[in-house]
Amino acid sequence: MHAGADAGAASWYIQKVIQSAVVPVAGLGTRLLPATKSQPKEMLPVARKPIVQYVVEELVSNGIEQILFVTGRSKGSIENHFDHDPELFQALTQANKQDLLRELEFEALKANFFYTRQRLQRGLGDAILCAENFAGEKPFLVALGDSILGLNAVSRAVSRMADVFDAKRASCVIAVEEVPSEETSHYGIVQPASGADDVFRIVNLVEKPAPKDAPSNLAIAGRYIFSPVIFDMIRRVQPDKRNEIQLTDAIQFMCDEGRRVLAVKLTPEEKRYDIGNFPSYFESFVEFALADPLYGADFRIALERLLAKTPAKV
Ligand code: UTP
């Protein structure tokens, strides 16, 4: 199957190769304090929906049906969000609020949800380790709960990744996106084995390199497919200075052992919206709000009025 194949075929295909996804949502989200003091950053809204709802909709539209959330303390609202709320449903039905009832249709998404807890926030690698029993012997997808792919989560990237994982017998496939060369120090950057086409082999991963040290301008973009061998690799990782087990260290072990670690490039339409910091959160919110079918046009006028009143200070 190729990138241009229709959605139905993609869904059928991915179910054959990748049936399950792990969505880590246990992080403390300290860069978004105080907003995240008592609520998960993954529940912050981007325009109309919480971030994690976009993530789940993207996964389901790509044929994933089993989703494990790795949660932590103060993350209960994520579980509630994907649960049916009979009282709310009844109240809206009695009031004949059909438009609002439509906003709850995501409750019927064709997915089974599972939850486990990461007891101590010891980094992304440690969070993935919590999914070992869930994954069993099968390959699985990891989708970061604070990253949306594509405007309104329209993306077939994970279907393409599943295709590559299977066809190339990979151990790991990572979504990557081009970032401005002067911004490499904000990202995990990959080093391609040779050229960097739409699909290429990775030999090294470098965390937040200065532009002069960066091996490329291709950043890890929040979606991964792993064979279960990743769990052994994570167990070998030593905690870093912040006492966190980094997932990139485990992937680096895979590269060092000569395992096939491949990258799939996101298209410009599949841009990653990383909601982990305020500048990116603000920008994402505005972009999604401008694209809102009902309120976008008026919001654009309001924004233009506001911008005319407060010109940028340079
Ligand atoms: P981040 O790297 O943004 O870390 O997590 P964080 O702890 O949430 O945020 P800061 O750095 O304190 O601001 C990326 C994804 O991995 C999850 C997060 O919930 C987020 O979806 N994560 C991170 C975990 O599940 N467990 C962890 O220990 C760390």
Task: Say what the pTM is.
Answer: 0.92
At residue 285, what are phi and psi to the nearest 5 degrees? -60, -45
Protein residues whose CB sits closer than 6 Å to any atom of ligand 1 = 24-31, 42, 70, 118, 121-124, 126-127, 144-146, 276
pLDDT tens per residue across span 2-29: 444 455 555 555 556 898 999 999 999 9
d(CA 20, CA 112): 10
Q: Measured in Å, how far apart are the chain's first and last C-alpha atoms?
A: 49
Give me ligand 1 centre to Cα 73, in Å.
Answer: 13
pLDDT tens per residue across span 212-266: 999 999 999 999 999 999 999 999 999 999 999 999 999 999 999 999 999 999 9
DSSP state of 32: G
d(CA 125, CA 246): 5
Share of the chain above pLDDT 70, in %: 95
- Beta-bridge partner residues of 66: 20, 112
Ligand 1 atom closest to the CA of 70, numbered from 1: 25
Give me ligand 1 centre to Cα 145, in Å.
Answer: 9
Confidence of residue 311 (pLDDT cuts 50, 70, 90): confident
d(CA 216, CA 206): 10
Out of 22, 23, 28, give the residue to mutate to test ligand 1, the one with the largest number of ligand atoms within 8 Å of its CB: 28
Provide the mean pLDDT of the chain.
92
Out of 118, 124, 149, give the residue to mutate to test ligand 1, the one with the largest number of ligand atoms within 8 Å of its CB: 124
- Residue 194: partners with Cβ closer than 8 Å, 6 or more residues away: 200, 201
For each of the domains in the chain, give its residue range(s) and CATH number, in order of start.
Answer: 5-309 (3.90.550.10)
d(CA 184, CA 165): 26
Q: In the numeric block, which tokens belong to residue 310?
A: 């407060």
- Tell me the average pLDDT across 281-297: 97
Coil/strand/helix, residue 227: coil
pLDDT tens per residue across span 167-221: 999 999 999 999 999 999 999 999 999 988 999 999 999 999 999 999 999 999 9
Half-sphere exposure of 208 (CA within 13 A, CB side): 2
**Residues 176/187, Cβ–Cβ less than 8 Å:** no
Which residue in this structure is represented by tokens 């998960």?
A: 40
**Residues 158/226, Cβ–Cβ less than 8 Å:** no
- Tell me the average pLDDT across 74-98: 92
Give me ligand 1 centre to Cα 251, in Å.
Answer: 17
Out of 146, 149, 224, give the residue to mutate to test ligand 1, the one with the largest number of ligand atoms within 8 Å of its CB: 146
pLDDT tens per residue across span 105-136: 888 888 999 999 999 999 999 999 999 999 99
